[in-house]
């Protein structure tokens, strides 16, 4: 299998952008996330992310984004795959937790979905 490296800039199929700025020796990583969608009128802001990856060729990983513009939190779990041409892809499943007023409303608090990320390559200006 080809190597897959989480460091760098990624975009998903929604058009969201993610930058993984550093990965430490033990696989802990940090970065920023800019979502293309939010379902609200509130201004979208860059939000911090932190997570862990396995130290392996095609690592499994998990990370959390703490949305700076809402009470919500999203977590992603997935794996980094590299193909024969050296192209890397992140296949993930996410849970988006939004704050509920009461325990009785808990049932509606969690959305689930999938995101696919590929490398963001700078376009010429
Ligand atoms: O839309 C979310 C939000 C939370 C409270 C008001 C708005 C925050 C952004 C989530 C972005 C999701 C998608 N973007 C992406 O790249 S995270 C998973 C997807 N991948 C609307 C009302 C309550 C919850 C959502 Fe809200």
Report residues of the chain scoring pLDDT below 50. Answer: none
Q: Mention every residue, 6+ apart, whose C-beta is less than 8 A from residue 95.
A: 74, 75, 110, 111, 112
pTM of the predicted structure, to 2 decimals: 0.94
pLDDT value, residue 123: 63
CA 49, 112, 117: angle at the middle one, nearest 5?
50
Residue 94: CB within 6 Å of ligand 1? yes
pLDDT value, residue 124: 63
Residue 100: CB within 6 Å of ligand 1? no
Between strands 8-12 and 28-34, the pairing is unpaired
Task: Write out pLDDT tens, residues 23-50.
Answer: 999 999 999 999 998 887 778 889 999 9
- Residue of the CA atom closest to atom 2 of ligand 1: 38
């Amino acid at each position: 299998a080809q190597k897959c490296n989480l460091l760098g800039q990624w975009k998903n199929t929604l058009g969201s952008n993610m930058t993984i700025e550093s990965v430490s020796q033990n696989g802990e990583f940090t970065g920023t996330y800019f979502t293309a969608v939010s379902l609200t009128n509130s201004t979208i802001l860059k939000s911090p992310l932190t997570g862990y990856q396995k130290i392996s060729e095609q690592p499994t990983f998990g990370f959390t984004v703490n949305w700076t513009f809402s009470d919500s939190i999203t977590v992603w779990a997935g794996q980094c795959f590299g193909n024969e041409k050296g192209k890397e892809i992140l296949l993930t499943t996410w849970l988006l937790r939004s704050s509920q007023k009461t325990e009785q409303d808990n049932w509606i608090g969690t959305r689930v979905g999938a995101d696919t990320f590929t490398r963001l390559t700078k376009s010429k200006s």
